[in-house]
Structure 1
Amino acid sequence: MVKKFEGWECINGGLHCCGNLSPEPHYPSITRYPKGTSPEVVEGSEAAITVVFCVMGMTCAACAGSVEKAIKRLPGIREAVVDVLNDKAQVQYYPSIVNEDKIREAIIDVGFEAKSMGESSNDTSLQICRVHIGGMTCTSCSSNVESSLQSLPGVQIAQVALATEEAEIHYNPNIISYNQIIEAISDTGFKPILISKGEHISKIELQIDGIKNEQSMDIIQHSLRSLQGVETIDTYQDIHRVTLTYKPYLTGPRTFIEAIESTGSGCFRATIFSNDGGSKAHKRDEINRHFKLLIWSLAFTIPVFLISMVLMYIPGIKHVLEIKIVNMLNIGLLLKWEFSTPVQFIIGRRFYVGAYKALRKGYANMDVLIALGTNAAYFYSVYVVGRTVFSSHFKGSDFFETSSMLISFILLGKYLEVLAKGRTSQAIAKLMDLTPDTAMLLTQDDKGNVIGEREIDSRLIQKNDVIKVVPGAKVASDGVVVWGQSHVNESMITGEAKPVAKMKGEMVIGGTVNENGVLHVKVTRVGSESALSQIVRLVESAQMAKAPVQKFADQISKYFVPIVVVISFSTWICWFVAGKLHTYPKSWIPSSMNSFELALQFGISVMVIACPCALGLATPTAVMVGTGVGATQGVLIKGGQALESAHKVNCIVFDKTGTLTVGKPVVVTTKLFKNMSVKDFYKFVAAAEARHLL
């Protein structure tokens, strides 16, 4: 629909100069202006005001897109950015044309609740800091870190995910800094690595060729520091690398590379250094490390198992194993001791380290329980070996196979856990692979006419760039169409199989597929602000969000280890006292043992049985894998609570033709209920299918 307004033409909600409707790609401002108002009058007469709205009810990037589109349709809107993950919408507007009430009404009209949070200049909203935490082994570890973070002044929300080994902290930067948060995590005994800080700060690493000495690096650093929007610069002379944090709405990686290559008479060359390879290599090394530990553990554990459970029942081999060496010490017992010792102290060393760190900080985790259980079994078995050496009639039962097999089973569980985590990380990485590797960047003159184009790495795209999208290609970044018309397949975001018509002034989303026309797109959102990045963050946050049953398990896990130790000790005391008081028959006590040793066996059994407890591991791993695999299939799950509630669903209603259907009914079966000729009946059926009777 086209309407004329005093020299301006409104096309699909956007106003454009009538004289610029020629097929030549000329792009005026995309900002919406009221009747009889030009861009120069509006932008020159007053400054735009920025306001942040809290928008409740958004569940996906499609919701954010509908909210953003509704806001931008209003006159007097300069810019609008919607963050679905944090339920916020930041809007820049001209107060003489539109006000907050109208913006809020526009958001409410599309089905969401909105509340103004004030101007962003005065906004003391929280920042989000994401940290990778290494060394956590169970829910007690993650709960301890979470409690430590939540006790810090200025920290409002702290979520620690054991499965992903990450923490997301919402904090007030005016009260506490991210460095203090990192130090607090280090104080708990774990290794923190900062992933990101703040919502509007991006990080990039550049590899630089041509550096000869320290002076070269100083020149590059000075050149980068003069650029607007650069926050911090870290240089690494030995590996010729520079790490920068910057504001993506002010500058970008292409500006950095151009600044570096124009420095020093053009002798430097810079490229983006991707950390993805390092992350993948780290995950691969972690999987290989756990696999090697498992293999070595099995290599020593299987002989212990065979000697204890199988070979002792084979007549010929049994005779060899029962050959006495010293008094009652036989070859079988000695072999079990020798094979189980490396498993207990070398392969199982990680449990001692984890238990030491936990106890040093005043809490007990699963490593403490594993170390207690396996050590109790092992050292009691060593006690049995000592009794057989110095006794000619003692025949005690050992637990060498119990300690070694327990460690092997736990290592198997750890290996399966890191495998699941690795596959989920791959699933999330596939989401980011939806964007193309390259993009066609257009060069314009002062009047906005295209004078050239060149292919660039899609990671070099910056805000306000104009890119060309040819038929069949993927849109490289979120933006608004400034020239051309086409149909875009947005099923990646909306699930709609039917392509959506796009023309001048329409929004397009990075990763969607352009089908049949050439589009020139002005980039509006890059990096973490893009819809695809917000989907990835949504999935990652869903993996951090704890299901109700997991929260309950975390509460139990805080007291689980101490309770198990108390029950085990009580079992030993009760059986020992019962033996001294002769409350059970003496025939229950083996001839080679006394009541103390029998009671000790029962106490050790309680502790050992409680060791391989999956109380705190099963739920987070299941949530992590479920949300990751679902994301690759186009299903976004907002955390474990949604998964936990899914079993209560008994009816599912699907909306929108095009998601599951194509809007073209076909006859699938027929049945005749009255007397008429079959020939006439099928004529009516054919006519109905051909839509002659609709």
Structure 2
Amino acid sequence: MAPHRGGATRKELELEDLEAQARLVLDEAALEKEPLLTSSSFLEDGNENGKSGAPALCRLEVAIGGMTCTACSTSVEKAVLRIDGVSSATVALLQNKADVKFDPRTCKEDAIKEAIEDAGFDAEILSRTFMIDLVGNGNAAPPSKLTTTEMFKVGGMTCTACVNSVEGVLAKLPGVKRVTVALATEMGEVEFDPKAVQRRQIIETIEDAGFEAELIESEERDKVILTIGGIFEDDGTQVGELLSKLKGVRDFTLDVLLERAVVMYDPEVLKLRDIVHGIENAGAGRYKVVLPNPYTSYSPDKSKEVSSALRLFIASLAFSIPVFFITVVCPHVPFAYRLLLIHCGPFLMGDWMKWLLVTPVQFIIGKKFYLGAYHSLRSGSANMDVLVTLGTTSAYVYSVGAIFYGAFTGFHGRTYFETTTMLFTFVLLGKYLEVLAKGKTSEAIGKLLELAPTTAMLVTADSGNSEKETEIDAQLIQKGDRLKVVPGSKIPADGFVVEGSSHVNEGMITGEAALVDKSVGDNVIGGTINVNGLLYIEAVKVGRDAALAKIVNLVENAQMCKAPIQKFADYVSSIFVPVVVVLALSTWICWYLAGVLELYPDSWMPDGTNHFVFALMFGIAVLVIACPCALGLATPTAVMVATGVGASNGILIKGGDALERAHQIQCVVFDKTGTLTNGRPSVTTAKAFNGMTLSEMLAFAAAAEAGSEHPLARAVLDYAYHHLVFGGVPSTPKSPSRTRDFSWVKKCSDFKALPGQGVSCIVEGQIVLVGNTKLITEQGILIPQQAANYLREVEERARTGVLVTVGHDLRGILAVSDPLKREAAIVVEGLNQMGIRTLMVTGDNWTTARAVAKEVGIKECMGEVLPGGKAEVVKSLQSDGTVVAMVGDGINDSPALAAADVGMAIGAGTDIAIEAADYVLMRSNLEDVITAIDLSRKTFARIRLNYVFAMGYNVVAIPVAAGVLYPFFSISLPPWMAGAAMAMSSVSVIGCSLLLRLYRRPRLTEILDFQPQHRSRQ
């Protein structure tokens, strides 16, 4: 369960005074305080629930009025520490708050408040929290892992230099094992040893580097933050007693003022729904428990950043307009110009007015840039803030100097205050547009989050044979729950249909436009739409295990991963700012010396300037026109948009590195069953041998295959079921492979699955083997000539022969047909047209493999290959540098998927295959193989174009700003215009990336497109 994320900053405090080290996550934006305490008198005797002498500690937060300096805060601390029972006191002068730890058995809250007031200050108790150790309740915490991985929101980053700065300072922390920071998503993933470094230290380190930090997601799946509506201060004891008595609760904190409880529990012993219902029942309906949305941690909320950027831009613009009017317009209006020349003491009215207007922009609105530059330089790096502050400060300092020079000498030279205001205004405008554009790149996750169901209709058995229906929060669904899904509603959880039939729209998850038939036994996906029938489903995967949560997490992680090409931008950005500063200084010195040495005529200089000022303007222009941000955004924004586009097309990409490798694919290796074929094999014919009847042979085969999940095993089971139970009826409303009803099957023992070969077991005291020819021959069992002839006929018709032996004799052969996917042949043809080599590798026999390969147009194939052998085939292809993609769906494909440069898992495949792959094709449609490769190629074409924009901009803009065109065409860029160009460069790169949202699947994949009302289930 993701922590609550209502505010902009989060701190997690390690309460070291408790043996259980209870953890409390605080929302600083809601209430800027570290310690929040509950008062729970039910523990004061120390013996509740067997917790004899359990350590107890209160933390009190007090608002203090009247403090003006450090001496005041010190006085308060000393006054509080003199009280018996107070173990620590910390006073924050700027926040006007005190954090006090004390033993409630020897110290009272009123005594602390009175001590502060006696010291001469006002005091008001804000909150109190009572924390306890429940380990004595028999709920021992599980052994902790060596490391934990958590997600942090990092705000204020503008370029790759900022990313490098954050990663650099975090990597230096003791206990930090790995750090990944993504500029586009403003997310940081940190793997660390919680014994060596605390979350608070990580957040503080990021903040010390000049950025905003917030904990947004933790690996702790056994912690939940509950908002309890309707609770009052007097109810704390009742709720605390309830939580302390619940078996499975490890520890908790309860803050009545914030109406919040943080509960650590054992999900194997206690379910979340039991906690929620327990609290609500304790209040006799007065309490309403609300859970935080588990998807909130993924939600990219840019609203605060957008409003902040807009506010700064408008404020700067408000000052810039009058400065521009005074500088540019007034000199052309005689009356206004005369007013500007009026002396106010030693200064001119115009200079006074511009100075007064510019100073707030420089030091108040521009504070953000100064702080960013300071923290950047302190961490040993340099970013865009350094360039902006150097440029604006140079113009400001010179202008102020010019005013004082005029006051003392009477020569009132030209000032450049407008440079400062215009620079800040255009840079802030660029930042505002950049934030808006960044928000567009993350819309894919937002659209996925909209699919998340909010409520579910739980069906439970009532008295007698009746059923009770209760609407519950979708987050409270538990595995095994029976749920009712009415037409038009969202399916609340992943599971399977136990009653009813309907058509389901799965397009929002899989990208499939057609409706899918669903009936008893079929799997359903949470978040999809039940169109026209009433369904009852059983929940199988809930919470973070659900398909939607995994998809959102996968897309988010993909956007976190850096593409290898990003290393180029990282390197350039690391040296960019120092190089630009050197170039700016060189420009200023060269132009200044050229003027002093009279290498250019004085007519080149504008009126009211000198050689120093003339050269300075070129130097400032070089400083502010250079833009490292565009370089840093070139790759991550394109990757972010591409992963979102892929997700909307049913293609999940697991990272920028996978996206980059895919555009280099030279060879695609296909598995057969479930990849080139539909993966829904069925037995077409069966024949018994050696004196055994067909029914007897099928009974033994079914007993063996009942323990297997292989598609061929399900086909054998269904055929045997139809023959043995329904007398050979070809189709029935239910099949055992879907309903999992094996009551009609003989009992077996010593079951073994033999990957790539088949299964073995003991039935009625006899060894039964069901599998391919290789399995039978390796066991030394002879295949009679009659059976061999039948097997050859089966395989020549592109069927798979499944052999059944009982004892040491071959007793039967089943011919299994798995139709090819309708798009298989054209996809192979399309890959060939793209210059990509195709192969097929299968565990099936050579004869069947050749027949299938010929039918789809694959010229190279390999049969009778074991799972490990598939990986070896991939490695052999890679030996000469070929970039290989593997497309598969089963457990036996996972080694090859992992070994390939790019692994593509069919979405209907196994979890293991999906875990091993780099791409997941949710539609189980081979057309998406071409789409994935094409999307990768277009993405990296876009990234290259971004780099052309970013590098070309700097390569062209810096010399122009330095004045190389001035001697020939008298063209120069005023610093404010250079700043505007710099601001627009980042926007142009992001805009170029956003054009990927217009991506459409290649024309080849549309050849077979059709628009039926619905299709049969897969």
TM range (shorter): 0.5 to 0.7
Deviations 1:569-623 (A, max 9, x none): 2333344455555555566567865544444343333223336953334654555
The answer to whether the 8 A contact 1:301-1:404 is kept is yes
Residue 138 of structure 1: how far off its partner (Å): 3.2
Amino acid in the other structure paired with 2:312: L
Matched residue, 1:497? 513
Matched, 1:652 2:1002: yes
Task: Measure the CA separation in 1 of the matches of 2:160 and 2:182.
Answer: 9
- Structure 1 residue corresponding to 2:420, chosen from 382, 403, 407: 403
1:539-558 aligned within 5 A: 539-548=555-564, 550-558=566-574
Matched, 1:301 2:320: yes
- Structure 1 residue corresponding to 2:492, chosen from 461, 473, 476: 476
Deviations 1:1-31 (A, max 9, x none): xxxxxxxxxxxxxxxxxxxxxxxxxxxxxxx
Q: Report the 3-state secondary structure (helix = DSSP H, G, I; strand = E; otherwise coil) of the residue aligned with 2:630.
A: coil
Deviations 1:470-496 (A, max 9, x none): 233221111122333333222222222
Deviations 1:655-683 (A, max 9, x none): 6999x42369xxxxxxxxxxxxxxxxxxx
Amino acid in the other structure paired with 1:210: I
Matched residue, 1:292? 311
Q: Report the 3-state secondary structure (helix = DSSP H, G, I; strand = E; otherwise coil) of the residue aligned with 1:474.
A: coil
Residue 178 of structure 1: how far off its partner (Å): 4.9
Matched residue, 1:159? 180
Shift in CA distance, 648/343, structure 1 to aligned 2, threshold 3 Å: closer
Q: Report the 3-state secondary structure (helix = DSSP H, G, I; strand = E; otherwise coil) of the residue aligned with 1:614.
A: helix
Matched residue, 1:74? none
- Structure 2 residue corresponding to 1:149, chosen from 170, 178, 186: 170
Matched, 1:131 2:152: yes
Comparing 513-522 with 241-250, greater Cα deviation is found at: 241-250
Matched, 1:453 2:455: no
Matched, 1:442 2:459: yes
Question: Aligned pairs, how many?
Answer: 538
- Structure 2 residue corresponding to 1:415, chosen from 418, 432, 438: 432
Shift in CA distance, 195/233, structure 1 to aligned 2, threshold 3 Å: farther
The answer to whether the 8 A contact 1:261-1:269 is kept is yes
Q: Report the 3-state secondary structure (helix = DSSP H, G, I; strand = E; otherwise coil) of the residue aligned with 1:476.
A: coil
1:31-430 aligned within 5 A: 127-151=148-172, 155=176, 157-171=178-192, 178=199, 181-182=202-203, 184-198=205-219, 200=221, 203-213=224-234, 216-224=235-243, 227=246, 233-244=252-263, 251-263=270-282, 268-272=287-291, 283-312=302-331, 314-316=332-334, 319-320=337-338, 323-325=341-343, 330-393=348-411, 396-422=413-439, 428-430=445-447
Task: Measure the CA separation in 2 of the matches of 1:330 and 1:656.
Answer: 73
Task: Measure the CA separation in 2 of the matches of 1:281 and 1:158.
Answer: 20
Task: Measure the CA separation in 2 of the matches of 1:651 and 1:517.
Answer: 32
Task: Measure the CA separation in 2 of the matches of 1:656 and 1:221.
Answer: 61
Residue 634 of structure 1: how far off its partner (Å): 6.3
Residue 315 of structure 1: how far off its partner (Å): 4.9
Amino acid in the other structure paired with 1:522: E
Shift in CA distance, 591/523, structure 1 to aligned 2, threshold 3 Å: closer
Matched residue, 1:509? 525
Task: Measure the CA separation in 1 of the matches of 2:164 and 2:353.
Answer: 41
Shift in CA distance, 327/258, structure 1 to aligned 2, threshold 3 Å: closer
Comparing 371-380 with 525-534, greater Cα deviation is found at: 525-534
Deviations 1:355-387 (A, max 9, x none): 222233333222222111111111111122222
User: Larger Cα Rg: Structure 1 or Structure 2?
Assistant: 2
The answer to whether the 8 A contact 1:373-1:611 is kept is no
Residue 273 of structure 1: how far off its partner (Å): 5.2
TM-score by length of 1: 0.67
The answer to whether the 8 A contact 1:333-1:385 is kept is yes
Matched residue, 1:527? 543
Any gaps of 5 or more consecutive residues in structure 2?
1-141, 661-934, 942-999, 1014-1018
Residue 404 of structure 1: how far off its partner (Å): 0.7
Residue 408 of structure 1: how far off its partner (Å): 0.7
Residue 167 of structure 1: how far off its partner (Å): 0.9
Shift in CA distance, 176/481, structure 1 to aligned 2, threshold 3 Å: farther
Matched residue, 2:587? 571
Shift in CA distance, 469/284, structure 1 to aligned 2, threshold 3 Å: same
Task: Measure the CA separation in 1 of the matches of 2:186 and 2:253.
Answer: 26
Matched residue, 2:502? 486
Q: Report the 3-state secondary structure (helix = DSSP H, G, I; strand = E; otherwise coil) of the residue aligned with 2:527.
A: coil
Matched, 1:661 2:1010: yes
Residue 230 of structure 1: how far off its partner (Å): 5.1
Q: Report the 3-state secondary structure (helix = DSSP H, G, I; strand = E; otherwise coil) of the residue aligned with 1:130.
A: strand
Amino acid in the other structure paired with 1:645: R
Task: Measure the CA separation in 2 of the matches of 1:281 and 1:163.
Answer: 11
Please tell me the root mean square deviation across aligned C-alpha atoms, in Å: 4.1
The answer to whether the 8 A contact 2:165-2:376 is kept is no
Matched residue, 1:7? none
Deviations 1:433-459 (A, max 9, x none): 223332110103799x76322222223
Task: Measure the CA separation in 2 of the matches of 1:188 and 1:648.
Answer: 32
The answer to whether the 8 A contact 1:132-1:194 is kept is yes
The answer to whether the 8 A contact 2:576-2:628 is kept is no
The answer to whether the 8 A contact 1:137-1:366 is kept is yes
Task: Measure the CA separation in 2 of the matches of 1:319 and 1:299.
Answer: 21
Task: Measure the CA separation in 2 of the matches of 1:399 and 1:414.
Answer: 23
Shift in CA distance, 223/379, structure 1 to aligned 2, threshold 3 Å: same
Matched residue, 2:964? none
Deviations 1:181-225 (A, max 9, x none): 445434534343211122745644322423333xx4354245335
The answer to whether the 8 A contact 2:508-2:648 is kept is no
Q: Report the 3-state secondary structure (helix = DSSP H, G, I; strand = E; otherwise coil) of the residue aligned with 2:262.
A: strand
Matched residue, 1:600? 616
Q: Report the 3-state secondary structure (helix = DSSP H, G, I; strand = E; otherwise coil) of the residue aligned with 2:472.
A: strand
Any gaps of 5 or more consecutive residues in structure 1?
1-120, 665-694
The answer to whether the 8 A contact 1:358-1:364 is kept is yes
Shift in CA distance, 620/204, structure 1 to aligned 2, threshold 3 Å: same
Amino acid in the other structure paired with 1:407: F
Task: Measure the CA separation in 2 of the matches of 1:587 and 1:269.
Answer: 79
The answer to whether the 8 A contact 1:355-1:367 is kept is yes
Shift in CA distance, 302/576, structure 1 to aligned 2, threshold 3 Å: same
The answer to whether the 8 A contact 2:149-2:191 is kept is yes
Deviations 1:298-339 (A, max 9, x none): 111122223334443x35357436635279965444433332
